[in-house]
Amino acid sequence: MDDRITPAVAQKRQEFYGRIGQKALAPLWESLKGLVPRAPATKFLPHAWHYGDVRPLLMESGGLLTAEEAERRVLVFENPGQPGTSRITATMYAGMQLILPGEVAPAHKHTASALRFVLESNGGYTSVAGERTTMRRGDFIITPNDAWHDHGQDQSTGPVIWVDGLDLHIVNFFEAAFSEHLNDKKQMVVKREGDSIARFGSGMMPFNATSPFGKTTPIFNYTYETSRRALMQVAGADAPDPHFGHALRYANPFDGGWPMPLIAAWLTHLPKGFETKPVRSTDGQTWIVVEGEVTAEVEGKTFTLGENDLLAVPSWCWRKFRASKDAVVFAFSDRSAQEKLSIFSEERR
Ligand code: 1HN
């Protein structure tokens, strides 16, 4: 659009826009550039949350209301580029949840899928679709869409703290969200603990198995014990990838794809002193340091991250990582959704 126009022409156009506006019409030529950007221009900022700041506030919230009162007692990670939107990146919701000894977060279900990444737990559990799993530090736990879920803490010792990641903004974008509450606080547990791992998570599968949760992985809990052992064995055999270090992605045994239809997740080991080469991609990523210490550089901003610290890396931001100590880092993003829609892009330098 040529913007060297006379005031008279500008006025004529504005008058026209006013008239067509009354007929629920708008001129594309005024908005075309914003609708079809040359490259992703995120409104979100690279940002870090330090566990040392967040944990005391989460514990303080534990004195303000019970898990049951809150339904879910969570401090939401709000990207400072878009405060008030309950988003850590453009599409992803993330928060940190607290359950105190004896508490229950009551059973409900919804269209959105959720992941839990466990930071602290001594006797914490979550029940999903009739099966219960014990939560342990580093476990990556799946709540498929439309599955009943409740969480609790049976032991008398210590808080249970984890990070929730949900695809609810994608579901809401499509205006496709439903939810329901169960009459009972806890759902009935009808399976023995470990059922899903035995059936689907041991490199085997029942004869004639069909996927119990549609396009979501049937593996309920990718335990840290198993994931870490695999990652370290691979790290001991190969040189780190220049861009990704040693990285293993969580996989759905039915199709080898990402564990959830809209959410991707992976686990990375960076040996002490190793620095990744710059990468950028269109998925909005959330990184959580599980072990060690990492310096991240995102679009020229530097963040030093220790255990349980979180980092938001929005779409198309250059990122690189350096491990100042041997590090293990968990990450999730909307890459799984983007790949299904054929819109995922990545660039490596
Ligand atoms: C939810 O169901 C949980 O089940 C946590 O623990 C956080 C945030 C928004 C919507 C539903 C949970 C949530 C949530």
Query: Which tokens is 228 given?
Result: 């870490």
User: CA–CA separation, 179 vs 148, rounded Å?
Assistant: 10
Pairwise CA distance, residues 150 & 99, whole Å: 11
The pLDDT tens digits for 70-84 are 999 999 999 999 999
The string of DSSP codes covering 206-242 is -TT---TTTTS-S-SEE-HHHHHHHHHHHHHHSPPBT
At 36-83, the pLDDT tens digits run: 999 999 999 999 999 999 999 999 999 999 999 999 999 999 999 999
Q: Please state, in angstroms and rounded to a whole number, the distance separating the CA atoms of residues 306 and 294.
A: 7
Ligand 1 atom index nearest CA of 151: 6
Distance 94 CA to ligand 1 centre (A): 9
What is the average pLDDT value for the chain, to the nearest integer? 97
User: How many whole angstroms from 72 Cα to the centroid of ligand 1?
Assistant: 6
Full-prediction pTM beyond 0.85?
A: yes
pLDDT in tens, 274-283: 999 999 999 9
Alpha helices for 36-132 (secondary structure H): 51-62, 67-70
Q: Which of 41, 35, 45, 40 is nearest to 82 (CA)?
A: 45
Cβ 129 vs Cβ 190: under 8 Å: no
Provide the token pair at 62. Answer: 């534990």
Write out the two tokens for 50. Answer: 């330090």
Say how far apart CA 262 and CA 193 lie, in whole Å: 27
Lining ligand 1 with CB less than 6 A are 72, 74, 93, 95, 97, 105, 114, 149, 151, 164, 166, 168
E strands present in the chain: 47-49, 74-76, 93-99, 104-110, 114-120, 124-128, 131-134, 140-143, 149-153, 160-166, 179-181, 221-222, 246-249, 264-270, 279-281, 285-298, 301-305, 310-313, 319-333, 346-348
Helix (H) / strand (E) element for 328: namely strand 319-333
Q: What does the alpha-carbon distance between residue 77 and residue 58 come to, in Å, rounded to a whole number?
A: 12
- Rounded Cα distance between 336 and 139, Å, is 20
Contact 79, 314 (CB under 8 A): yes
Q: Which residue among 116, 166, 169 is best mutated to probe the pocket of ligand 1, counting the most ligand atoms within 8 A of its Cβ?
A: 166
Domains and CATH numbers, the chain: 1-36 (no CATH), 47-348 (2.60.120.10)
Token output for 202: 């041991």
Model pLDDT, residue 156: 81
Task: Print the SS3 string covering 80-102.
Answer: CCCCCCCCCCCCCEEEEEEECCC
Segment 145-202, tens digit of pLDDT: 999 999 999 888 899 999 999 999 999 999 999 999 999 999 999 999 999 999 999 9
The H or E element containing residue 151 is strand 149-153
The alpha carbon of 265 and the centre of ligand 1 are apart by a number of angstroms equal to: 18
Report yes or no: 117 and 333 within 8 Å, Cβ to Cβ.
Answer: no
Joined tokens for residue 153:
């803490």
Name residue 331's beta-bridge partners: 266, 287
Secondary structure class of 111 (helix, strand, coil): coil
Mean per-residue pLDDT, 86-90: 98
pLDDT classification of 19: cutoffs 50, 70, 90: very high
* 236 burial type by CB count under 10 A (0-12 exposed, 13-18 middle, 19+ buried): exposed
Tell which residue, 245, 311, 253, has the closest CA to residue 277: 245
Structure token pair of residue 324: 């100042």
pLDDT of residue 319: 98
Confidence of residue 259 (pLDDT cuts 50, 70, 90): very high
